[in-house]
Chain A
Amino acid sequence: MLDSLAAFLNQNDIFTVATLFQYWDGLVVTVQLVFLSLILGLFISVPLALVQSLNNPWINKPIWLYVYIFRGTPLLIQLYIIYYGVTYIDGIQESFLWEFVKEPFYPALLAFMLNTAAYTTEILRGAIKATPHGEIEAAKAYGMSWWQMTRRIVGPSAYRRALPAYSNEVIFMLHSSAIASVVTIVDLTGAAQNVYSKYYAPFEAFIFVALIYLCLTFTIVYVFKRVEKKLLAHLQPR
């Protein structure tokens, strides 16, 4: 079977084994970039959203500003500022950070992480705010501390409420990761651009990569549907 596949691949000019490997490498980079920035983004946004629920104006104002700036400007600008900007920070070329920063991957990861963290903070904030007031009053009446209340009452229901919006954010992150190709990262889109410029075949190169993205999107949608079905089972119509 593999032989017939290889024979088929050798027949056509564009989708040779070498090209497919280019796409595969791009896929790996895209998945790494998206996955890492989402995980790191969660590590930033969960504490920010929780701290916001304390309603301390001195904490909330800076968080609001961070979220507003990152949601109000294009990701491309954020990427450019970080990618081109880091090299001009005094002393960075001598420090240990230079090892990371000189490759485009890490500045892009930083930009994506900060961007998704801002959007996720907003999603989580909304979910926490939507906690029914009676539940919080009941928790207070039981004498729970803020942390106990967050852990036992607010948290479990808030992350379930946030899940549908967060699945959208994951898909958006996958789609915005395409702009990593602009700063010379060879992700899926970068691979497609390379294939396009090598064979001058825009339709083959870009439609193929569009199909890969489509499959990734459907996979994400499917996984989140499964998770939602499990976690939101109590809301399903019987």
Chain B
Amino acid sequence: MFDFHGYGPSIFQGAFLTISVAVLSMIIALILGMAGSLAKLSDNRFLKYSATTYTTVIRGVPDLVLMLLIFFGAQILVNSVTTWINNKFGTRFFININAFVAGVTTIGFIFGAYMTETFRGAYLAVDSGQIESGKAYGMTSKQIFIRIIFPQMMRHALPGLGNNWMVLLKTTALVSVIGLADMVRLAKEASGAVHEPFKFFIPVAIVYLGITFLSEQLLKWLETRYSAGVIRH
């Protein structure tokens, strides 16, 4: 049963690629989500509206469509920018948008919108009395954010963050569509070559299940850790 016709090691490398795409795009999503939620909560109208447009549009369009748009579109955009710069300054450089960059940025960009909502909810869940007392102590808004809001916000954000991570992990399977050699694509190629789809897809599914299971355990541990100061009812 465990005869992978020599495709075993390459699928293992694909698993590594899947994880690195997931982790990198998660980092982008966290940064974008933080920035987006702060923009959405700020008093600046322009920031508020652009963040709202960002979350509404991204959450209303399928991930695959955005990925195809960025994968096929970004290269044309980047090319026209580099051509303009090259003509203007007489330089000769070229930026190549490969599938890895397109995949990671798209997934990061999409989940940034979901993270924005998660962080916004978590921010609003912090007791306003705490922020007021911070002000009464004469803290600057930056100090209030770092000392009071952020640590408490993380506790409220963790369940949503964990959910987003699980969905993100499964979304990484889509990078196989734009030609990145992740687990799914390698399994597809292998099963196409030896005409045994179950043999390759089922182990890949099990790897995904394994990663979800491990993430679940880690999240449980984190949640207990971050709610150490809270009474459970």
Binding site for B on A (CB under 8 A): 68-69, 72-78, 80-81, 84-85, 88, 174-179, 181-182, 189, 192-193, 196, 202-203, 206-207, 209-210, 213-214, 217-218
Contact of B65 among A72, A81, A178, A203 (CB under 8 A): A178
Contact of A76 among B57, B68, B184, B209 (CB under 8 A): B184
B60 at the interface (CB under 8 A from A): yes
Closest to A77 in B: B205
Q: Is A210 in contact with B195, judged by CB distance below 8 angstroms?
A: no
Majority SS at the chain A contact face: helix
Closest to B188 in A: A80
Q: Is A206 in contact with B62, judged by CB distance below 8 angstroms?
A: no
B218 at the interface (CB under 8 A from A): no
Type the 1/0 row for B41-73, where 1 means its CB is closer than 8 Å to any CB of A.
000000000000000010111111110110011
B23 at the interface (CB under 8 A from A): no
Binding site for A on B (CB under 8 A): 57, 59-66, 68-69, 72-73, 76, 170-174, 176-177, 184, 187-188, 191-192, 195-198, 201-202, 204-205, 208-209, 212-213
Q: Is B177 in contact with A193, judged by CB distance below 8 angstroms?
A: no
A77, B200: Cα distance in complex, Å: 10
A202, B57: Cα distance in complex, Å: 18
List of B residues within 8 angstroms of A85 by Cβ: 197-198, 201
Closest to A81 in B: B201
List of A residues within 8 angstroms of B68 by Cβ: 189, 192-193, 196, 202, 206
A182, B209: Cα distance in complex, Å: 22
